[in-house]
């Protein structure tokens, strides 16, 4: 995304030095990695359209990838101590060739279209975030059911605990009887005797069913 893009139509394609390489110092610039803004325009070969690689658009790609083999072979020869080969026609770059200038606009448009297509394809091909797996209602239902069960269990446990505590408290309250002695007096006994006499009188007046109540005559048998 952060690709460094070259300036568009305002930039004139830079060409390599066309001077034949005669020494090492002269060779080095040819093999050096091009800057981000540099565009290599291949020399037009007779009967063919100049080809422009899209690779130099990105800074990360090595410049040598866009240079034809004879150019890149020169430094190798230099490095190995061999003779420096003169550039062939295909390896030379003409400065602002009229045909290249004429087609540069359409080429740029083509490149832009290609870039656009590529970026679109890149966007399309970009790995999308995995879509969340579709779950049915069953796990939700089960979760609710379990939650309700846990709630009920907790409530029951709390209730039981409360109940037990209350019972313990009640037991504690009732298990402390007053151990005071209350000796009876003659007056108490007199009162009790009187109450019993009254009960006896009442018992005598109790109207229970009599033998006659169940007789054949009373029942009409």
Partner 1 sequence: MLQKKISLGVLVGAFLATILFVPVASAAQDSSNASTQNNATQKAAKLAERVANYKTKQAVKLAAAEETKLKGSCKAAQAKVSALTTKSTAAYTARTKLFTAITTKVTSIKSGLQDAEIETKDLETAEAAFDKAVADYKTAYETLKADLADTAELDCVTDPTAFKAALLTARADRQAMADKAKTVVESIPAIRAALVTARQELAKASTSDTTESTNTGAAQ
| Contacts with partner 1, residue ranges (CB under 8 A) | 137, 140-141, 144-145, 181-186, 188-190, 192-193, 195-197, 199-200, 202-204, 206-209, 211, 213-214, 218-221
Residue 55 or 147 having the CB closest to partner 1 = 147
Residue 23 or 211 having the CB closest to partner 1 = 211
Residue 126 or 203 having the CB closest to partner 1 = 203
CA dihedral (12, 15, 18, 23) in degrees, to 10, reads 140
Which residues have a Cβ under 8 Å from the Cβ of 8 and sit 6 or more positions away?
108, 112
In angstroms, give the least distance from the CB of 196 to partner 1: 6
Which residues have a Cβ under 8 Å from the Cβ of 21 and sit 6 or more positions away?
27, 30, 74, 84, 86, 87
How many other CB atoms are found less than 10 A from the CB of residue 12? 13
In angstroms, give the least distance from the CB of 189 to partner 1: 4
Residue 55 or 144 having the CB closest to partner 1 = 144
Residue 167 or 191 having the CB closest to partner 1 = 191
In angstroms, give the least distance from the CB of 201 to partner 1: 10
State the DSSP string of 13-51.
PP----SPP-SHHHHHHHHSPPPTT----PPPPTTSPPP
> Element (H or E) spanning 163, and its range?
helix 137-174
Q: What are phi and psi of 193, to 5 degrees?
A: -65, -40
Residue 69 or 144 having the CB closest to partner 1 = 144
* Token representation of residue 101: 């200038």
DSSP assignment letter at 11: S
In angstroms, give the least distance from the CB of 204 to partner 1: 7
Provide the 3-class DSSP secondary structure of residue 58: coil
In angstroms, give the least distance from the CB of 146 to partner 1: 11
- Report how far residue 101's alpha carbon sits from residue 50's, in angstroms, rounded to the nearest whole number: 11
In angstroms, give the least distance from the CB of 41 to partner 1: 57
């Amino acid at each position: 995304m952060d690709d460094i893009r070259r300036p568009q139509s305002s930039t004139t394609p830079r060409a390599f030095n066309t001077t034949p390489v005669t020494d090492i110092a002269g060779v080095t610039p040819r093999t050096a990695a091009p800057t981000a803004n540099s565009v290599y325009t291949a020399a037009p070969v007779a009967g063919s359209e100049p080809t422009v690689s899209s690779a130099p658009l990105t800074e990360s790609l090595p410049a040598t990838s866009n240079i034809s083999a004879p150019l890149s072979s020169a430094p190798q020869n230099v490095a190995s101590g061999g003779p420096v080969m003169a550039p062939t026609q295909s390896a030379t770059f003409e400065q602002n060739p009229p045909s290249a200038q004429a087609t540069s606009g359409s080429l740029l448009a083509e490149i832009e279209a290609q870039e656009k297509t590529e970026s679109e394809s890149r966007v399309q091909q970009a790995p999308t975030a995995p879509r969340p797996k579709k779950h049915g209602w069953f796990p939700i239902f089960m979760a609710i059911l379990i939650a309700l069960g846990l709630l009920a269990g907790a409530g029951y446990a709390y209730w039981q605990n409360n109940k037990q505590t209350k019972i313990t408290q009640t037991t504690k309250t009732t298990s402390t009887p007053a151990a005071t002695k209350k000796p009876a007096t003659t007056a108490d006994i007199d009162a009790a005797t009187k109450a019993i006499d009254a009960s006896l009188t009442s018992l005598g007046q109790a109207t229970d069913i009599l033998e006659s109540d169940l007789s054949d005559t009373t029942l009409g048998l």
